[in-house]
C-alpha cells in the first residue's frame, strides 16, 4: 500500500526541517565558537579566577579581625594555593594552544600570566610570613600582602571577563549580515 500524498508531503517536509535545523545549529556552533576547545578552557579558567578572587576577598576580610586564629588564615591560603596551581596548569595548556586561538583569546591568555604570577608571588610571601610567625596574621606586612593577592586576583578576573566579553561581541558582530534593505536603501 502506498502512503497518502498528504502524509508523504508532511513527512518529507518534517525531514527537511529537521535536517535544516540540525545543520543550522551545527553551523551556529561552529560560527559562534570558532575554537570551542580554547573557548571551553578559557571559560573554565575564568570560573577558577572568579573563585580565586572570592577566596582572596574572604582572606582580605579576615585581616583586620585580630580575633581570628592563624588556622583560619592558613585554610584560605591553602585554598588559594590550590587554585593558583590549578590555574598555572590550565594556563600552560592554554598557552600551548595559542596557535589555534582567536586574536581575543590570545589576548586573554597573554594578559593572564602576569597577574597570576603576581598572585602567586604575594601568596608565597603570605604563606612564608605565617610559617615564620603565626602572629604575623596581625601585622601590617601580612595585610598588605593579602591586599596584593586580592588586587591581582581581581585584576586577573576583570581583564579575562572584559576581553572574553569583547571577543564574544566581536564574533557576533562579524557574523552579522546586513542586507541593503535593512539599511534603508543605503
pLDDT of residue 17: 41
Per-residue pLDDT, 13: 40
Cell numbers that stand for 49 in this block: 579566577
Q: Model confidence over 109-123: pLDDT tens digits?
A: 999 999 999 999 999
Tell me if 77 sits within 8 A of 127, measured CB to CB: yes
In a domain, 186, yes or no: no
Tell me which residue range forms the domain holding 75: 35-173
In this predicted model, what pLDDT tens digit does every residue of 123-176 receive, in sequence order? 999 999 999 999 899 899 999 999 999 999 999 999 999 999 998 888 888 777
Percentage of residues of the chain with pLDDT beyond 90 = 60
24 is a domain residue? no
The answer to whether position 23 is within a domain reads no
Residue 52 lies in a domain: yes
What CATH number should be reported for the domain holding residue 44?
Answer: 1.20.1420
How many domains does one find in the chain?
Answer: 1
- Whether 181 is in a domain gets the answer no
Q: In which band, very low, low, confident or very high, does the pLDDT at 18 lie, cut at 50, 70 and 90?
A: very low
Residue 25: is its pLDDT beyond 70? no
Q: CB-based contacts of 32: which residues, under 8 Å, 6+ apart?
A: 171, 172, 175
Amino acid at each position: 500500500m502506498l502512503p497518502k500524498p498528504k502524509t508523504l508531503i508532511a513527512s518529507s517536509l518534517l525531514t527537511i526541517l529537521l535536517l535544516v535545523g540540525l545543520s543550522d545549529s551545527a553551523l551556529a556552533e561552529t560560527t559562534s565558537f570558532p575554537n570551542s576547545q580554547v573557548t571551553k578552557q578559557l571559560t573554565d579558567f575564568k570560573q577558577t579566577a572568579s573563585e580565586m578572587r572570592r577566596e582572596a576577598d574572604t582572606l582580605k576580610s579576615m585581616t583586620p579581625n585580630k580575633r581570628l586564629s592563624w588556622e583560619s588564615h592558613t585554610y584560605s591560603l591553602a585554598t588559594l594555593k590550590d587554585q593558583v596551581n590549578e590555574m598555572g596548569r590550565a594556563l600552560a595548556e592554554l598557552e600551548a594552544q595559542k596557535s589555534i586561538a582567536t586574536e581575543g583569546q590570545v589576548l586573554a591568555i597573554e594578559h593572564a600570566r602576569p597577574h597570576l604570577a603576581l598572585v602567586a608571588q604575594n601568596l608565597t610571601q603570605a604563606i612564608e610570613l605565617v610559617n615564620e610567625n603565626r602572629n604575623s596574621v596581625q601585622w601590617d606586612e601580612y595585610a598588605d600582602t593579602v591586599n596584593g593577592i586580592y588586587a591581582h586576583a581581581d585584576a586577573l578576573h576583570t581583564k579575562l571577563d572584559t576581553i572574553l566579553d569583547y571577543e564574544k561581541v566581536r564574533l557576533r558582530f562579524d557574523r552579522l549580515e546586513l542586507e541593503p534593505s535593512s539599511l534603508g536603501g543605503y
